[in-house]
Homo-oligomer: A and B are copies of this chain.
Amino acid sequence: MPEFDFIKAAYGLPHDRIPIWIMRQAGRYLPEYRAVREKVSFMELCHSAELMAEVTKQPIDIFGFDAAILFSDILLPLEPLGIKVSYDNGGPALTPQVRTPDDVAHLKTYEPADEMAYVLAGIKEIKKRLDGIVPLIGFCGSPFTLASYMVEGGGSSRFAEIKKFIYNHPKAAHRLLGQLAEQTGRYLKDQINAGVDVVQLFDSWGGILPLDAYEEFSLRYIKMAFEICKTEGVPRILYLNNTAPYLKQLAELDCEVIGVDWRTDLNDAMNILSGKTIQGNLDPQLLFGPGKLVHEKTLELLETVAGKDNFIFNLGHGIQPEALVDNVKLVVETVHSFNIKRDQ
């Protein structure tokens, strides 16, 4: 029997209180995080085991979340492929862009255990500092999401280039995605070997695809990565932004938890994904609003999942810089006291 309620919930096992964590919980909304970032750049932070451990632990100490998540970035594993990633001007910028079969053929291959050793060292330091109080979540971007960044050269509002690429060069797209799936799976496995207790894949951009293309270009490679890192006692979470259209397809995926976005009907998710644990899905932008509303909407969400052992509370997407710290405290308190109520 696992020790943490978080791990029990991930396997749908009986436990005492609904666990809660928040995507991007160590982030710019938090004054303590911003204080660290005033001293070092984002890249310096991602390369220092000491600082990674410090910011990873901050939200645990401040809010009492039930899980910590490795402080890192989904784009870092692209650097050993020969892609330069810069965070200097707002969003990330990647060079060179990968847009032709030839570009794909020229990517390097690498051993995650070697090239990502600085992240694995960070994991060991974080585990030491957490000292067993909460489980640690490791993560990676989904192959399709990483490919989108590589092809677009950064974030995008239209994703025109990745669509041109998969429709016009499907063979090269499959070659790229296959390579990313293998490296992603092995990187997650290395994170598990270094000590993480849970892994999450972020499919941030899969939700732009038609259903058949989602199956062909995203889900297929998530399956490959999850197959490679499958480990007894280590639950695998897939978070997909814009989840609702793909629920039936996700039901087929071999993993323990599906993270759903804030537009997904929780009852639908529970029904269609029966046998899996659901993670989500408060609107992150609700945390810009008044406490009364935050409390009310958190309670409404909790009523939907009352008495269910297969639920992990989270936002429906990463927390945003404008989120009010008091609202985060309120959500955690509401979730934790609701659990006590359930036991009465």
Contact = CB atoms under 8 A, between A and B. Distances in A.
Interface string A157-194: 11110011001100000000000000000000000000
B209 A164 contact: no
B263 A211 contact: yes
A92 interface: no
Contact of A245 (B163, B248, B265, B286): B265
A288 interface: yes
Q: What copy number does this chain have within its complex? A: 2
A163 to B, nearest CB: 4
A215 B262 CA distance: 14
Interface in A276-295: 283, 285-286, 288-290, 293
Contacts of A285: 159-160, 163-164, 167
Contacts of A158: 320
A111 interface: no
A317 to B, nearest CB: 10
Interface of A: 155, 157-160, 163-164, 167-168, 207-213, 242, 244-246, 248, 262-265, 283, 285-286, 288-290, 293, 297, 300, 316, 320, 322
17 contacts: A155-B157, A157-B157, A160-B322, A163-B288, A164-B285, A164-B289, A167-B286, A167-B288, A168-B289, A210-B286, A211-B265, A242-B242, A244-B244, A244-B245, A245-B263, A245-B265, A246-B263
